[in-house]
Chains A and B, each alone.
Chain A
Amino acid sequence: SYVLTQPPSVSVAPGQTATITCGGDNIETKGVHWYQQKPGQAPVLVVYDDSDRPSGIPERFSGLTSGNTATLTISRVEAGDEADYYCQVWDGLSDHVVFGGGTKLTVL
């Protein structure tokens, strides 16, 4: 089965840029989607189809996929960005959804 690998944690100072990676075999052939989950809340889609943003998501959130790695970049990080972030793909070979293990973003 297809596996997505994320670092358990990333730390960044306010105003800096946070980079969260999601690794998967030939992931660039799949559409990668990213969710933000704040404590006690449901996940929220922040990037879909590798690099598109839903309405209402700040431009500070951007995505890029190349080779075996997808990357979520959060520019000018704010305290309110502290959350767990999950990547997700649709695996067409198995017709199943796959989530990464999640990355906890800490704003120092």
Chain B
Amino acid sequence: QVHLQESGPGLVKPSETLSLTCNVSGGSISGYYWSWMRQSPGKGLEWIGYIYYSGSTNYSPSLKSRLTISVDTSKNQFSLKLRSVTAADSALYYCARFWDSNSIPNYFDSWGQGTLVTVSS
């Protein structure tokens, strides 16, 4: 059973960069898609983007201009960087494994517990 754990600062100042890492244990990061989601307090789930273990990415159009997702297969982890953050980026951020069917991303079968990020000065 793969286990995912998010880590990173819980507080980020406005206009700065939010950086999070998802450590994958209990299985290899290779061969799979990996994704980030977020959830603002009291709101629904928002997809941020995904990365294939090879490094190819796909981002939500609403965040694409500020977003970079990267992968480090040697460390079995992947990361998120969101630039120029505002209070609207305050949320619970989740990482998840994105299970594919015939190489097409499909559903999220394993999730991290989530990490709360607050954007405030």
Contact = CB atoms under 8 A, between A and B. Distances in A.
Interface of A: 1, 31, 33, 35, 37, 41-45, 48-49, 54, 84, 86, 88, 90, 92, 95-102
B109 A43 contact: no
Given A48-B107, A90-B105, A42 B44 contact: no
B88 interface: no
Nearest to A98: B47
Given A98-B47, A99-B47, A102-B44, A31 B107 contact: yes
Contact of A42 (B35, B46, B60, B112): B112
Interface string B78-121: 00000000000000001000010100111111011110000000
Nearest to A6: B44
B106, B107, B112 — most chain A CB neighbours (10 Å): B107
Contact of A35 (B105, B108, B114): B108
